[in-house]
């Protein structure tokens, strides 16, 4: 990875880990909630969102995880708020492909910095935990989502 991109990756991950956006924010009248767990490292989080007329009007997360898991969840909540369910699902697919299949970062805005996680294959599950949990929340799945 180029030095500038690595520096940006590290800077954004550290910023979102130290100051996570929408952390410990359970939207009033959240109507979709899911819990996620990564048994490899112990990352655990819940995603709560308010869905109105097919649009994510509010979203938050809580839990405990490594810097990558926390930063990814923070970036995700910023990116998902205001999106339709279809747009949220498409964003999940794009991010997941970028992280797991060497896909292009494309037009993912700030989420492009997550491409740096590919340099650490063992950490990809940390970065995708929040996204899988979001998918479960959108589908109102019961139980705990696992990265395994």
Does pLDDT of 20 surpass 70?
A: yes
28 — pLDDT class (breaks 50, 70, 90): confident
Please tell me the distance from the alpha carbon of residue 59 to that of residue 61, in angstroms, as a whole number. Answer: 7
- Who's near 29: CB < 8 A, 6+ residues apart? 50
Q: Residue 53 belongs to what domain range?
A: 3-146
Point out which residues pair with 45 in neighbouring strands: 36, 63
Here the CATH number for the domain that contains residue 77 is 3.90.1010.10
pLDDT score for 81? 96
Point out which residues pair with 22 in neighbouring strands: none
Which two three-digit tokens encode residue 108? 């993912």
pLDDT score for 105? 62
pLDDT score for 46? 97
The rounded Cα 86 to chain-centroid distance in angstroms is 16
Mean pLDDT for the chain?
A: 91
The pLDDT tens digits for 79-93 are 999 999 999 999 999
pLDDT score for 35? 97
DSSP character at residue 84: B
Count structural domains, the chain.
Answer: 1
> Region 87-101: what's the mean pLDDT?
93
pLDDT score for 68? 95
Which two three-digit tokens encode residue 142? 């019961």
32-38 vs 55-64, strand pairing mode:
unpaired
pLDDT score for 3? 65
């Amino acid at each position: 990875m180029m030095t500038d991109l690595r520096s940006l990756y590290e800077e954004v991950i550290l910023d979102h880990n130290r100051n996570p956006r929408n952390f410990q924010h359970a939207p009033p009248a959240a109507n979709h909630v899911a819990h996620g767990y990564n048994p490899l490292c112990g990352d655990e989080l819940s995603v709560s969102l308010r869905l109105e007329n097919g649009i994510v009007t509010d979203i938050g997360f809580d839990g405990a995880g490594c810097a990558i898991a926390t930063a990814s969840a923070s970036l995700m909540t910023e990116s998902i708020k205001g999106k339709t369910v279809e747009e949220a699902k498409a964003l999940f697919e794009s991010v997941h492909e970028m992280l797991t299949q060497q896909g292009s970062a494309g037009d993912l805005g700030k989420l492009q910095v997550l491409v740096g996680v590919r340099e650490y294959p063992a950490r990809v599950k940390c970065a995708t935990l929040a996204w899988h949990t979001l998918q479960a929340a959108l589908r109102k799945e019961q139980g705990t989502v696992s990265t395994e």
